[in-house]
A and B are shown apart, each in its own frame.
Chain A
Amino acid sequence: MAGTSVRDIRLDLFRGLALWFIFLDHIPTNIVSWLTVRNYGFSDATEIFVFISGYTAVIAYSRMMEQEGWTRAAARIYRRVWQLYVAHILLFVAFSAQIAWVSIARDTPALIEEMELLGLGQNPYRAILEAALLKFRPVNLDVLPLYIVLLAAFPLVLPLVIRWPFAVIAASVGLYAATCHYNWNLPAYPDEKVWYFNPMAWQVVFHVGAACAVLGPKLVWLDRFRGLLTTLAIAFILFAAFISLSWHYNPLERLVPHWVGRLIYPIDKTNIDVLRFLHFLAVAWLVRLAVPIDAPSLRWPIWQPLRRCGEASLLIFCIGTFLALSGQVIVGYYEDSILSQIVVSIGGIAIMCLAAYLAAWSKGGGPSASARRRPLAEAYK
């Protein structure tokens, strides 16, 4: 994102929101997750996160490629891939350590057993090797490996998407379709497992995000069909909301005809079902209309915590994943009481925000950082 004259605040804001949602949704019993998108439609925070990651990848590296050449941009991308990898391994260690600590501190054999069940205990040496190869990922550690793979391929994609965004969309959709049809996936550990977020399917979200960043202002072309697209988007979102709410209310569920069920289920997450992707695109379309890049409301101070979290996305993602596990343990300890769910949710988000502000503050000193922050600083004068 460095180097762009106008920072698209929406990217930070919605990425921050996605990070909050990911945290809330990763606590299995959490009443606060009713505030997140996943209960009102097919797609969830993962789509937001991956789409914005593709979008920002273009913004971050395209100018660098233009000015300093492809090699330099590719090197920078790989520097980022390395950061992601290090963050993932660190998160893996911290995550496992937290489980070990909970098991030991509570000193119950059943707990240590559960800890083994994350797959570490049966064959720890092999598990560590597989973790380093990104094949062994305990629960909830699936998003960063996906991001690593997508970004690792990005030096090849970047020059293509800048020149031929539509061709990249077509190729990406083609790979997605072939992946779903032939059931391709990458191997994982233990042996018969595959990647929970299949990179060959999820790349479609990332690359459509990247192409949208390249097209940028040219997307205005779509406004010729604004009425039609908006109607379709609203209709689809209402349909998805009805189906999603029917999972919570049996009387609604009985209204869904069997032929509709046959058509839509299962709504696969591993290979990002087309319904999920369409739902995300419909939401993105409405957000684009409702929140233009220069909307004054974007600069309202109440959004600042979200923006800060979005700016430090890697850090906040790691902290959120770690805290979601703590939250899960705490909520379990209080026997799923609603109060514990609310306290844990608010507390977790507060810690994430605190970390994001600290990150922004600690970066504040350097000359490059202050240059980057100028547009933001002006907004708060």
Chain B
Amino acid sequence: MTVGLAASPAFAQSMKLCRAKPELLELGAPLPVARKALAERKQLRIIALGSSSTSGYGASNPAFAYPTQLRIGLEKALPGVDIEVINRGIGGQDVEEMAARMRTEMQHNPASLVIWQTGTNAAIRQMPLDKFDKTLRGGLALGKSLGADFVLMNLQYVPAVVAAPDKEAYEKVMAAAAKEYAAGLFRRYDIMQSWYEDGMPYAQFVQLDGLHLNDFGQKCIGKLLTRSILSALTGP
């Protein structure tokens, strides 16, 4: 057995193509609650709130979904820290259902950081923008009041979303809401778009349904998110 393989998962898959420009990985928020938990209690509890890309729909192993990748990556980077990532992804949902369960989720699992993955289903189903905006802000306000940091994970750059007429508008709403509530923004849409524009075909990162991420896509987003969160937690 080679040394290089020992660290890689059982189901290795070439991650050479998994990359993003550093500026795309900046969350733009300092995550004070999570930092404090890390410094004072050596503890980091994270809720991953989202839809099918959080739950890991269609991956050949649920471990490839970003919440588990995040936990594995953080444990490696922060030895001695008690890390937990609770996967609360429910396929097919979007901002309304998630905002509605926000309170219960956070009471069941008190966390210092919530990653809220949303927008993809809203864009595909053409949820009215003002409603999307209002519900998202309502959810953020509620979540913040319950004492956690937030990172919003925006849309996927996949055929089903790219075909939607005003997907960028949903993106903008999310960016503005993140700024207003001092939440981080993980720019999944821009990262994936840069893959596509660098010549990576959809088949490399999207399942054949044109919507969900495949093994590579899920793992790569998980690794990049880990990098983003780590640099936000340990940066200046």
Contact = CB atoms under 8 A, between A and B. Distances in A.
Contact of B12 (A248, A266, A336): A336
A68 interface: no
Contacts of A192: 55, 90-91
Nearest to B163: A261
B126 to A, nearest CB: 10
A328 B13 CA distance: 10
A311 to B, nearest CB: 29
Contacts of A248: 201-203
A114 B61 contact: yes
A253 B206 CA distance: 13
Given A110-B72, A253-B202, A29 B13 contact: yes
Query: Interface residues of B: mostly helix, strand, loop or mixed?
Result: loop
Interface string B200-214: 111100111111101
A351 interface: no
Contacts of B61: 114, 117-118, 139
A337 B196 CA distance: 24
A333 to B, nearest CB: 7
Nearest to B211: A266
B160 interface: yes
A38 B163 contact: no
Interface stretch (B3-11, B131-139, B225-233): B3-11
Interface residues of B, number: 45
Contacts of B202: 246-248, 250, 253
A117 B63 contact: yes
Contacts of B199: 250
A103 B9 CA distance: 10
A106 B10 contact: yes
B72 A113 contact: yes
B215 A28 contact: yes
A85 B11 CA distance: 28
A329 interface: yes
Nearest to A337: B14
A42, A103, A267, most chain B CB atoms within 10 A:
A267
Given A118-B62, A248-B201, A266-B209, A28 B13 contact: yes
A261 B159 contact: yes
B58 interface: yes
B7, B124, B202, most chain A CB atoms within 10 A:
B202
Given A267-B208, A267-B210, A250 B201 contact: yes
A265 B10 contact: no
A80 interface: no
A336 B59 CA distance: 17
Interface of A: 26, 28-29, 38, 42, 44, 99, 102-103, 106, 108, 110-111, 113-115, 117-119, 139-140, 183, 192-194, 196, 244, 246-250, 253, 256, 258-262, 264-269, 273, 328-329, 332-333, 335-336
7 contacts: A44-B208, A183-B92, A192-B90, A258-B162, A265-B160, A267-B208, A269-B58
The 5 A-B pairs at the shortest CB distance, nearest first, are namely: A261-B163, A117-B63, A266-B211, A265-B160, A332-B12
